[in-house]
Amino acid sequence: MTEDREGVVVYWRHGCPYCMNLMFLLLFSRLRYTKVNIWKDPAAAAFVRSVADGNETVPTVTVAGRPMVNPSARKLLAAVREHAPHLLSRRD
């Protein structure tokens, strides 16, 4: 499992339309994040279950270590502004 206490991690799985939508919207934000496929990483799947009432609900996202289950792009970016604003200032 990938744990990033300073950045953003998107836990997803293949075929999830909500995951694809979120990641598509994040393209326009230029936010850097790490993707972790829960079907390929059992520890990541266990983490998602631990924060999603025992379900493998994706996308689950962590922002500076804080979990969010199925957040909208707006809520995710608000969390980044609050907990990891340095990630939004990168423009390379």
Digit-coded pLDDT (tens) for 17-28 = 999 999 999 988
- With respect to residue 53, please indicate whether it lies within any of the assigned structural domains: yes
- With respect to residue 1, please indicate whether it lies within any of the assigned structural domains: no
| Number of separate domains in the chain | 1
Q: Burial-class residue 49 by CB neighbours within 10 Å (0-12, 13-18, 19+).
A: middle
Which whole-number Å values give the CA distances from 43 to 15, 52, 66, 76, in the listed order? 20, 14, 17, 23
What domain range is 22 assigned to? Answer: 8-87
Q: How far apart are CA 9 and CA 13, in angstroms?
A: 13
Confidence of residue 92 (pLDDT cuts 50, 70, 90): very low
**DSSP structural state of residue 32:** -
- With respect to residue 40, please indicate whether it lies within any of the assigned structural domains: yes
Confidence of residue 87 (pLDDT cuts 50, 70, 90): confident
CATH code assigned at 58:
3.40.30.10
Does the pTM surpass 0.75? The reply is yes
> pLDDT tens digit string along 38-58?
999 999 999 999 999 999 999
Q: Average per-residue pLDDT in the chain?
A: 91
